Chain A
Amino acid sequence: MSKRRARSPDAPGGSFLAGKRLHNPWHQAAHYLALIVLAAICLAPIWVMIATSFKNDVIVQSAEPLWFFFLPTLDNYEYILTRGKFDRYLVNSIIVGAVSTFLTLLFGGMCAYALARTEFKGRRLVANSTLLIRMVPPAVLAVPAFFMVTTFSLKNDLVVLIFFYTALNLPFAIWLLFGFYKQIPVELEEAAIIDGASPLQVFTRVLLPLMKSGYAVAGIFAFRIAWNEFILALLLTGRRSRTLPVAAAGFITDTGVEWGRIMAMGTLIVIPPLLFTFFAARQIIQGMTAGAVKG
């Protein structure tokens, strides 16, 4: 992992990149053109959603694709923000996302640290079963989770969602943080202990500063799953504990298909992931490639 980071493709002036840059201006122009076309393909559907969210129903129903030039309106946003229980769903989504992310990082970090630093009986078992269970399909969880919720009558309780999202996110977080902890030399910790630091101080003063980017990557992925998850949220929440994706999907069945409002809802849901992408693209790519590209 450290090797990959050192050779990070954007590293300015790295000797690895020297001499590999494109010199032929035509090649370079073609290269940029291809990238721009690809970027446009990635962005177009997202832009369609944003544009449609600012259109009134007459424009939407006229069926003429207007990309940029139309009279924008905030009616759709006003409707979903004032008529529905948007504020409640938003608060639910934030609570579920924040708490499950925090628990994932806390428990996952502790577990990853123990796996990376200590030797104990059953360590291999824990490590391997964590990797194996990482891919449990949400559809498999659906019936047993529904069974648990009805048996203990926990519907309308956000705790259930927080619990399942933490469980779903833990394997990836443990595995990612394990790699980051492995990179930190044990000597650093030993030196701090010799200097008289308490275990808490060792963590906050020595480990945490070095683990910041690891926890950031794990946190972004955990929050993204919790924020976007739909199947379990649909099953396990009631009228009061609904999260945003469930509320958005509800627009399609309850009230007929009101595209302007649906797209406004979709735009609001997409804001946090978009912000993450713009501010932490490098970390996200690091997390995504960590699974396939070994350092």
Chain B
Amino acid sequence: MAKTDAGSLESMSTASVDWRKVSPYLFILPAVLVMAAGLLYPVIEAFYLAFYDWDIGQDFEDAPNVGFRHFSRMLADPDVWESISVTLRFGFWTITIEMILGVALALLLEKPIRGASIFRTIFILPLMVSPVVVGLIWRYLYDARIGWINYYLSFLGFEYQVWLGDADLAFFAIVFTDIWQWTPFIFIIVIAGLQALPSEVIEASRIDGANWWQQIFLVKLPMIRSILLIALLMRLIDVFRGMEVMYIMTGGGPGRATELLSLHIYNRAFDAQQLGYASAISVLLILIVFALSFAILVMGNPMKDKSDV
């Protein structure tokens, strides 16, 4: 066995000297091919399609090339700006509240206690539930006639509301749903960060006379600031990527009150059936998301300090 192995190694090195140089490429080839065809090519395709006025049902050969007209139309399109504004407002409220709640809860509950693993298991449940199911559950809870939220609020003297039929209430509803689902994410990440802090530093600050507030704001939070920033950027990217929950709960309505940018692109493409114009808007989305991803990459390339990548 050992003999034949040695023999084959020998013959390999004489037959092809470059074998050691080639094999890494063979190892990365399948993954690179799939990602190139499934992620990179569609992105390039989106750029390409943006130059054509192509509608659903029309042969692509018949679609006229309109040059940059879709892009200039996009920049002047109030609907596009409206959906960007909805996305930014949604991101602002959800991320602000999730960060404050998640960090506050993590600081309060950071001390290890018995049974912590059970609670941690429960806290990640909202993150594991399919977005479609999250949308269905909350659409039921917000239902104007049989929803539980109206029922309980009526005890507090509130009138029955058509939650998902009113622009402001629907926006509030999707913000609240997002907070329910994603606050645990911030909570868990911040807890992990806090518990990874060297205890000597906290101890030293305590000995130096720092009180509880000073420990938090002068020692703990500054030490986990890169974690906080990366968590924030990851949530921001998710806000630009997400659309399933709103698709199920409101479809983007009423009007465009809950139509995030991703959902706007989807509705443009498959509801208004303007595939070419939707591609132009998705180029905008790609640029935004890549800029944010690039920020994460520069800040905390996770491969950086593990190697020379």
The interface of chain A, by Cβ under 8 A from chain B, is 3-4, 7, 9-10, 16-17, 20-22, 28, 31-32, 34-35, 38-39, 41-43, 45-46, 48-49, 52, 60-65, 103, 106-108, 110-111, 113-116, 118-120, 123-124, 126-128, 130-148, 151, 163-164, 166-168, 170-171, 174-175, 178-179, 182, 196, 198, 224, 227-228, 230-231, 235, 245, 248-249, 252, 259, 262-263, 266, 269-270, 273-274, 276-278, 281-282, 284-285, 288-294
Min C-beta distance of B24 to chain A, whole Å: 4
Which among A35, A120, A291 is the interface contact of B21 at CB below 8 angstroms? A120
Contact of B196 among A3, A43, A252, A278 (CB under 8 A): A3
* Total count of chain B residues near the partner, CB < 8 A: 112
Contacts between the two chains (Cβ within 8 Å), count:
334
CB distance from B38 to the nearest CB of A (A): 3
Task: Beyond the given A111-B30, A131-B303, please list 20 additional residue pairs across the A-B interface where CB-CB is below 8 A.
Answer: A45-B126, A48-B148, A63-B145, A64-B151, A116-B307, A118-B27, A123-B309, A126-B28, A136-B42, A151-B60, A167-B38, A171-B39, A175-B302, A231-B244, A231-B247, A262-B140, A269-B133, A277-B125, A284-B128, A288-B127
Residues of A within 8 A of B2 (CB): 196
Contact with B180, one of A41, A263, A292 (Cβ below 8 angstroms): A41
- By Cβ-Cβ distance, the 10 closest A-B pairs, closest first, are A167-B38, A144-B42, A114-B27, A228-B130, A111-B31, A139-B262, A144-B45, A281-B121, A63-B146, A273-B128
Chain B min CB distance to A23 (Å): 10
Question: In the assembly, what is the distance between CA of A61 and CA of B144, in Å?
Answer: 12
B residues in contact with A110, CB < 8 Å: 27-28, 30-31
**In the complex, A135 Cα to B300 Cα: how many Å?**
15
A residues in contact with B184, CB < 8 Å = 42
- Give chain A residues whose Cβ lies under 8 Å from the Cβ of B266: 139, 142, 231
Task: Find chain A residues with CB under 8 A from B103 CB.
Answer: none
